[in-house]
Amino acid sequence: MKTLNFEDLTQVRKKAQATLSVRELSYAAADESSCGLAVGTEHIQLLCCGGTGCKASQSQKIVENLKACIEANGIADKVQVIVTGCFGFCEKGPIVKVMPDNTFYTQVKPEDAEEIVKEHVIGGRKVERLLYVDPKTEKTVSDSKHMDFYRKQMRIALRNCGFIDPENIEEYIARDGYAALANALQGQTPEEVIDIIKKSGLRGRGGAGFPTGMKWGFARNYQAENKYVVCNADEGDPGAFMDRSIMEGDPHSVIEAMAICGFCIGASQGLIYIRAEYPLAVHRLKIAIEQARNYGMLGKNVMGSDFSFDIEIRYGAGAFVCGEETALIHSMEGKRGEPTLKPPFPAESGYNGYPTNVNNVETLANVPIILTKGADWFASIGTEKSKGTKVFALAGKINNVGLIEVPMGTTLREIIYDIGGGVKNGKKFKAVQTGGPSGGCLTEKHLDLPIDYESLGAAGSMMGSGGMIVMDEDDCMVSVAKFYLEFTVGESCGKCTPCRIGNKRMLEILTRITEGKGTMEDLDMLKTLATTIKDTALCGLGQTSPNPVLSTLDNFYDEYVEHVKQHKCRSHQCKALLTFTINPEKCKGCGACKKNCPSEAIIGDVRKPHIINPYQCIRCGMCKSRCRFDAIQVF
């Protein structure tokens, strides 16, 4: 492939847009009653989710079976199978989408491929059993536009995920890919581009929310013989998969944004720091980087201009603390992944001591579309101080687990009940953790809170990178705080005393409380330690690690008191506080509990009520799970 100049890029775009027109036009015109009888009349495309979640559920085998069936029926010239990135609706994956009628098939299995081809593609009849069933109306919905999960979403960072083949650069180009870079190189100055990013109001999506344009401006102002652009792809929050999905589904958006940033700050080298646990994202990034080089979007004299820029991939070993920019930089330098005091900031002295700009994946994914659609367009979305959209990984006790993108200012209620479909199994909503281990637990009183940086911070939580875990009435909030603290204690680099020792002491107190050994003085000490650590820890990991403890103390103090004074866990999650007994009126003496008790704590004769020795019981719950007569009681 020859290196493309600006005119060549336009020709490639026009040619590639013809391929994508089947998807774009059919999506815009899709109707619930339509069904594409396309064989013989128009081209059909089958889009198959190729994200990590669906691949783990055999989506690759689905692709192979679809292709084999299409070949066997002699329609390979009219039907195309395309592997895309994540569609977002992970709860219903693997997903296959049929174009041109935009039919959305859910929970597809490899053995369903033949039926999709023969019934839908050839016969023109939708496979009803694979369609999404709306839980409210109990009716099938064939078009994703009419699903509650997608109605309130606005996909900007995720605009290409689930729509294009991430391993085909021309499909990215067809969606105005590399147009922003071309425009910048053709007729804009670095200052003009930075000014657009500033006016858009884009803030860092990695957690801190620092204005992106301002960050770029700082890096540009420092003079040095070398400068670097770093993409922080070290996504470490439990339950978070936003950045991974963008890299898997739209890697070129990150590459283009890094090149634009390089042009703006005067850097010729980009580094993507990605955790090695993301093999699919790494694979697609490698393909995208090589394609970008071949097409002249990376390397010397990008698109025939005087600007040169290239990208390398660097691997992380999964240390959560390396999500902090100075620790990340040290890790890339081959040093221990520890943060350092700021200033100097990386914009002044970063990788190998040179000015370095660090942005996370989602932040970068927003840059190209801001430059093509304009600062005013992006700034019109969201709230006064938080512009644009935010991607969240919606997980936990929620009906619609998945990847979502909503305008800033959307309420928690809209996300949990409208998009997420409410709490699973009809249980009562109890809390939602935003911001991962660095965030806090918000309650029912916060459901109408608009999601933006300021509102979440004022409520005792934070935006974070975008993890959102929903909890129901069966979750113990003391145990939840302990879980997150266990994570941060394990991930602490150990450099500063407040984080290394203070968090350990807090974890010891929480452990005592969950074991029924806590005191009211422990609760006071927890709060004192938490506030001290927030004020004195070296980096963001330590400064935010007390958030889950403080937010649960504020919002669920009665549960802490219950654990301490009554030695009781209302959610039955703290094993040391549970008592298992057998109701003699319900026990039939079948012996199932006795037979399966690993500690031999149950005694009794056949056909006579059994009893549990409380001193020998290890509270594993095996007896309750095996009892067919609901005779096991837990207090």
Whole-number average pLDDT of the chain: 92
Q: How far apart are CA 97 and CA 45, in angstroms?
A: 8
Higher pLDDT, 9 or 214: 214
CATH number of residue 136's parent domain: 3.40.30.10
Higher pLDDT, 457 or 470: 470
| Cα 391 versus chain centre, distance | 7
549 and 594 fall within a common domain: no
Identify the CA nearest to 272 among candidates 217, 310, 240: 310
538 and 584 fall within a common domain: no
- pLDDT digits over 579-588, tens only? 899 999 999 9
- Tell me the two tokens of residue 262: 């390089």
Q: How far apart are CA 206 and CA 231, in angstroms?
A: 11
Position 41 scores a pLDDT of: 47
Share above pLDDT 90 across residues of the chain, in percent, rounded to a whole number: 80
Burial (CB count within 10 angstroms: exposed 0-12, middle 13-18, buried 19+), residue 144: buried
163 belongs to a structural domain: no
φ, ψ dihedrals at 326, nearest 5°: -75, -35
73 belongs to a structural domain: yes
496 belongs to a structural domain: yes
Handedness of CA 474, 477, 479, 483 (dihedral sign): positive
Position 28 scores a pLDDT of: 58
φ, ψ dihedrals at 466, nearest 5°: 130, 15
Contacts of 255 (CB under 8 A, 6+ apart): 285, 288, 289, 292, 297, 298, 311
What are the E-state strand segments in 38-181?
44-49, 79-84, 96-99, 103-105, 132-133, 140-141
311 and 284 fall within a common domain: yes
Of 2-11, 349-358, 438-447, give the range with the top mean pLDDT: 349-358
CATH number of residue 612's parent domain: 3.30.70.20
Label residues 525-559 b or e (16+ Cβ within 10 Å = b): ebeebbeebbeebbbbbbbbbbbbbbbbbebbeeb
20 and 122 fall within a common domain: yes
266 and 121 fall within a common domain: no
398 and 529 fall within a common domain: no
526 and 617 fall within a common domain: no
- pLDDT digits over 379-421, tens only? 999 999 999 999 999 999 999 999 999 999 999 999 999 999 9
3 belongs to a structural domain: no
343 and 463 fall within a common domain: no
Residue 27: which pLDDT band, with cuts at 50, 70 and 90?
A: low
What torsion, rounded to 10 degrees, do the Cα atoms 620, 624, 627, 629 define? 170
Q: Is the pLDDT of residue 137 over 90?
A: no
- pLDDT digits over 165-179, tens only? 999 999 999 999 999
Q: Residue 521 half-sphere exposure, CB side, CA atoms within 13 Å? A: 1
Q: How far apart are CA 616 and CA 606, in angstroms?
A: 21
CATH number of residue 500's parent domain: 1.20.1440.230
365 and 432 fall within a common domain: no
- pLDDT digits over 270-317, tens only? 999 999 999 999 999 999 999 999 999 999 999 999 999 999 999 998
Domain extent for 605:
578-634
- pLDDT digits over 523-577, tens only? 999 999 999 999 999 998 889 999 999 999 999 999 999 999 999 999 989 988 9
410 belongs to a structural domain: yes
115 belongs to a structural domain: yes
- pLDDT digits over 490-515, tens only? 989 999 999 999 999 999 999 999 99
Q: How far apart are CA 304 and CA 6, in angstroms?
A: 8
Q: How far apart are CA 576 and CA 513, in angstroms?
A: 10
- At 113, the amino acid letter reads A
Position 25 scores a pLDDT of: 62
554 and 606 fall within a common domain: no
Contacts of 462 (CB under 8 A, 6+ apart): 207, 434, 435, 438, 439, 440, 453, 456, 544, 547
Distances (CA, A) of 480 to 95, 110, 331, 433, 547: 32, 38, 30, 9, 12
Model pTM? 0.92
Residue 372: which pLDDT band, with cuts at 50, 70 and 90?
A: very high
326 and 234 fall within a common domain: yes
Distances (CA, A) of 314 to 272, 492, 553: 6, 22, 40
Say how many domains are in the chain.
5
> Whose structure tokens read 């495309």?
45
Q: Is the pLDDT of residue 38 over 80?
A: no
Identify the CA nearest to 455 among candidates 475, 469, 435, 471: 435
Q: Is the pLDDT of residue 37 over 50?
A: no
Boundary residue ending a domain (565, 587, 619): 565
CATH number of residue 311's parent domain: 3.40.50.11540
Reduce the DSSP state of residue 606 to 3 states and report it. coil
Mean pLDDT (whole number) for 42-49: 89
510 belongs to a structural domain: yes
Q: How far apart are CA 36 and CA 50, in angstroms?
A: 23
331 belongs to a structural domain: yes
Boundary residue ending a domain (352, 378, 404): 378
Position 326 scores a pLDDT of: 95
Boundary residue ending a domain (565, 594, 624): 565
Q: Pairing state of beta strands 269-275 and 228-233?
A: parallel
DSSP secondary structure string for all residues of 97-138 = EEETTTEEE-S--GGGHHHIIIIIIIT----GGGBEE-TTT-
- Tell me the two tokens of residue 175: 């969606």
329 and 406 fall within a common domain: no
Position 164 scores a pLDDT of: 95
Q: How far apart are CA 42 and CA 46, in angstroms?
A: 13
Q: Is the pLDDT of residue 466 over 90?
A: no
Polymer length in residues for the chain: 635
Does residue 591 contact residue 603 with C-beta atoms inside 8 Å?
no
CATH number of residue 411's parent domain: 3.10.20.600
